[in-house]
Amino acid sequence: MLRDNKELWWAIIASILITAFYALIMSVTGKIPAAGELFGHSLGILGFVLMILTETLYSLRKRSRSTRWGRMSDWLQFHIFTGLVGPYMVFLHTSWKFNGLAGAVTLMTFVVVLSGFIGRYIYTRIPRTADGIEMDTPMGDAQAAAIANARRLMALWHTVHIPLGMALFTAAFVHIGGALYYATFLK
């Protein structure tokens, strides 16, 4: 499960295409797209929507064991794909300016994505079924100890990654509210 890395390859391909379009906009306009202009706003909005989908859909699927909305491994791959492409689009939305609350949100986004890579690594160390359910098969004392250690690390990782994500989204909503208020409602 997750050993073929196809979600990473799709994220790389999507990021390359987004980068090419960003470079095209830069060459046509002769400047870095501003966060407050149409293209910059579009990047920020689409990236943030992908980040919201990253957070909500996978979490909902994970908690609803009775409803079959597809395999957990497919949802985890979707979570990883949108968790990479969305933040990349938000990063491009910054127009390479990292001050104030927007800069803090960008830094928090980077930390959450890095934390996601660590969690993905730990996750692949725990044997699972195709549906993502942990297997409890005995594999010898040494392997059992390694799996128990990976489970403890995964639990610790969850206690860090989830609050970081919540703090990120709280700060992002404050940023969005401020941007709407100062850039739209005051004009």
Q: Judge contact between 95 and 32, C-beta under 8 A.
A: yes
pTM above 0.85, yes or no: no
Q: Is 139 left (phi over 0), alpha (psi -120 to 50) or beta?
A: alpha
Gap between the Cα atoms of 106 and 88, Å rounded: 10
20-57 pLDDT, tens digit per residue, is 999 999 999 999 988 778 898 889 889 989 988 888 88
Using CA atoms, how far residue 166 sits from 54, 56, 109, 163, 180, in Å, is 12, 11, 11, 5, 21
pLDDT at 11: 92
pLDDT, tens digit (0-9, with 9 covering 90-100), for 59-96: 777 777 666 777 777 888 888 899 899 999 999 988 88
Is the backbone of residue 43 left (phi > 0), alpha (psi -120 to 50) or beta? alpha
